[in-house]
């Protein structure tokens, strides 16, 4: 469309071309957009000092900086897509961890991001489909809708009908996605050292490499198709889950059976508490059972990848971000779980050092860590759990406290565990959004029998201690208090 001011036609044409490509791929443009984020934030902080000097309350200044930074961050990440959009999905979980008055600007900006992601124009769709399937690609389908039905971080989805009458979803990668992702990963590697401010003992470069490898795998639709076939076979006939079958895959096009159902976002927004809990437990069950059934970890459990089917099952989409599950990890979890639930503080510290979560030379305040993780330990000690955004907010704020005394700053991890961390963060965010209130520990320990045994020993020990208290004469109540506290928390009295 022509614009009234001089030069307007050129600008309008340039925007149309960019929307047609779906991803801004010019390196200079992408670099400028990403680089502008920290520069703009620094400028806001400097401006905030001036405003405070003129008498504006510090809290009012901080809220304004948070809101403006949130809008800028989500708008840039959403426009760039690629890796930036993946990071935006993770930052969406951060919004849950903020106080309501700070979280609201992030939530509004994220909503605008999701509502404004540009789609490829029909001509661009035709060119991209022809690049993978040939000029006669339309003959492969009985019907094909060139309008995008959904958007992904590196592609978009179209509705179509296969020649045999099946309704299918056609996932098409954005032209230039690989170049955009490569550029984003380069920036990510450059910014990785900044994470030392929050986690000085973490090998940020190695963890960034692991994250980059996981993201890069999402650009391989042949690998995604193979992975989805593994999951579809493993969960075939499952009473709780449905994985759409892969129909075809060539180049940057992946065709799978269409999946009807209620998006998880709608369940979060308007489902009744019982349904939200039921669905949340299914999400936890799928994530935990996936590695037991397939040897692969489903690392992208965000709301957009789930549908609640009419028969109550949970439909699962998008298998581009699945990682091999470390074979030794169940033993690691059992060892640390036993120490955390049934051992002394020294036992837990020894287990953490044994599995390289604390550096050998590092002095470590294990009592402070025990206090910090007490709410997480309680998820296993109690048959039922209640997860809410407020609960998540509390845990994240404590874990990310920038003060030097924060013991979480001195934890580290092996790079191979990066996909597991990503899964835990994303899945926890979903469960908290759903407000799950039910037997979560049973789902979390079902594929981990040794951890389940440690949980049962903990509960039996605490139940026995409670029985002893109940049977003591009332005159002994004061003398019974100290040993009972010790029994419920393990040999160390510093338990949280």
Query: For the ranges 136-140, 197-201, 261-265, 307-311, which has the lowest average pLDDT?
Result: 197-201
Higher pLDDT, 415 or 228: 228
User: How far apart (Å, rounded) are the C-alpha atoms in residues 56 and 183?
Assistant: 40
Query: 251 — alpha (psi -120 to 50), left (phi > 0) or beta?
Result: left
Mean predicted confidence (pLDDT) in 58-62 = 68
Residue 232 falls inside a structural domain: no
Within a domain: 205: no
Mean pLDDT of the 463-471 span: 84
229 within domain boundaries: no
Residue predicted with more confidence, 370 or 188: 370
Cα separation, 371 vs 377, in Å, equals 10
Q: Please count the structural domains in the chain.
A: 2
Domain boundary among 85, 115, 145: 115
Sorted by sequence, the CB contacts under 8 Å of residue 270 that are 6+ apart come out as none
pTM summary value = 0.75
Asked which of 115, 138, 162 is the last residue of a domain, the reply is 115
Residue 214 domain-assigned (yes or no): no
Distance CA(224)–CA(152), nearest Å, equals: 14
Least confident of 53-57, 87-91, 289-293: 87-91
Report which secondary-structure segment, H or E, holds 470: helix 449-471
pLDDT digit string, tens, across residues 293-307: 999 999 989 888 999
The more confident residue out of 146 and 206 is: 146
The beta strands (E) that lie in 426-475 are given as: 437-438
Mean pLDDT, rounded, for 11-28: 40
Inform me whether the pLDDT recorded for 228 exceeds 90.
Answer: yes
Q: Is the predicted pLDDT of residue 475 greater than 90, yes or no?
A: no
Residue 402 located in a structural domain:
yes
Q: Is the pLDDT of residue 429 over 60?
A: yes
Assess whether pLDDT exceeds 80 at residue 221.
yes
The residue from 88, 115, 142 where one domain ends is 115
Among 4-8, 304-308, 319-323, 442-446, the range scoring the smallest mean pLDDT is 4-8
Q: What is the DSSP string of 162-193?
A: -TTS-EEEEEEEPTTHHHHHHHHHHHHHHHGG
Task: Examine the pLDDT at 233 and tell me if it is beyond 90.
Answer: yes
CA atoms within 13 A on the CB side of 112: 14
Model confidence band, residue 39 (pLDDT cutoffs 50, 70, 90): low
- pLDDT over 70 for what percent of the chain? 64
Q: What is the pLDDT of residues 124-152, one digit of tens each?
A: 999 999 999 999 999 999 999 999 998 76
> Measured on CA atoms in the order 258, 87, 146, 177, is the torsion positive or negative?
negative
Strand extents, DSSP E, 333-484: 385-386, 437-438
Which tokens belong to 244?
């759409």
Residue 409 has pLDDT above 90, yes or no: no
Element (H, E) at 255: strand 253-257
- Whose tokens are 């059976």? That residue is 257
Give the domain range for residue 485.
260-496
Within a domain: 475 = yes
Higher pLDDT, 397 or 451: 451
SS3 438: strand
Strand partners, 298: 322
Given a cut of 90, whether residue 155 has pLDDT beyond it is: no
**What do you get for the CA distance between the two ends of the chain, in Å?**
64
Residue 54 domain-assigned (yes or no):
yes
Q: Tell me which of 106-110, 135-139, 253-257 is least confident.
A: 106-110
Does residue 53 fall inside a structural domain?
Answer: yes
| φ, ψ at 237 (rounded to 5°) | 75, 5
């Amino acid at each position: 469309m022509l614009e009234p001011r001089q030069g307007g036609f050129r600008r309008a044409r340039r925007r149309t071309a960019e929307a047609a490509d779906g991803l801004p791929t010019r390196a200079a443009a992408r670099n400028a957009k990403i680089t502008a984020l920290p520069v703009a934030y620094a400028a806001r902080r400097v401006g905030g000092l001036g405003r405070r000097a003129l008498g504006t309350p510090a809290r009012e200044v901080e809220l304004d900086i948070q809101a403006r930074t949130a809008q800028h961050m989500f708008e840039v990440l959403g426009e760039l897509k690629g890796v930036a959009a993946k990071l935006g999905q993770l930052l969406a979980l951060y919004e849950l961890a903020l106080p309501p008055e700070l979280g609201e600007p992030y939530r509004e900006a994220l909503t605008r991001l999701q509502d404004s992601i540009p789609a490829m124009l029909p001509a661009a769709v035709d060119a991209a489909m022809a690049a993978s399937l040939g000029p006669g690609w339309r003959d492969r389908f009985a019907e094909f809708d060139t309008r995008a039905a959904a958007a992904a971080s590196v592609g978009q989805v179209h509705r179509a009908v296969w020649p045999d009458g099946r309704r299918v979803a056609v996932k098409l990668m954005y032209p230039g996605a690989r170049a955009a992702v490569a550029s984003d990963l380069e920036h990510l590697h450059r910014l990785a050292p900044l994470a030392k401010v929050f986690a000085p003992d973490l090998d940020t470069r190695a963890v960034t490499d692991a994250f980059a490898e996981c993201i890069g795998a999402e650009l391989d639709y042949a690998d995604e198709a193979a992975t989805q076939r593994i999951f579809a076979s493993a969960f075939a006939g499952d009473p709780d889950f449905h994985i759409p079958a892969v129909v075809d895959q060539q180049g940057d096009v992946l065709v799978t059976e269409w999946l009807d159902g209620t998006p998880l976002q709608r369940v979060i927004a308007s489902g009744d508490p019982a349904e939200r809990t039921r669905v949340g437990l299914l999400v936890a069950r799928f994530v935990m059972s996936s590695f037991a059934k397939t040897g692969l970890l489903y690392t992208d459990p965000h709301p957009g990848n789930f549908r609640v089917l009419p028969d109550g099952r949970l439909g699962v989409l998008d298998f581009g971000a699945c990682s091999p599950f470390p074979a030794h990890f169940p033993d690691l979890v059992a060892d640390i779980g036993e120490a955390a639930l049934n051992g002394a503080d020294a036992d837990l510290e020894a287990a953490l050092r044994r599995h390289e979560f604390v550096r050998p030379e590092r002095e470590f305040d294990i009592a402070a860590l025990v206090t910090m993780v007490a709410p997480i330990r309680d998820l296993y000690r109690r048959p039922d759990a209640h997860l809410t955004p407020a609960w998540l907010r509390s845990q994240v704020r404590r874990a990310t406290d920038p003060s030097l005394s924060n013991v979480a700053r001195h934890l580290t991890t092996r790079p191979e565990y990066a996909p597991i961390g990503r899964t835990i963060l994303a899945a926890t965010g979903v469960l908290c959004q759903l407000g799950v209130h039910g037997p979560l520990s049973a789902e979390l320990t079902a594929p981990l029998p040794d951890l389940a045994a440690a949980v049962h020993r903990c509960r039996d020990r605490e139940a026995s201690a409670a029985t002893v208290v109940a049977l003591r004469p009332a005159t002994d109540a004061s003398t019974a208090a100290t040993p009972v506290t010790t029994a419920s928390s393990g040999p160390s009295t510093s338990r949280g």
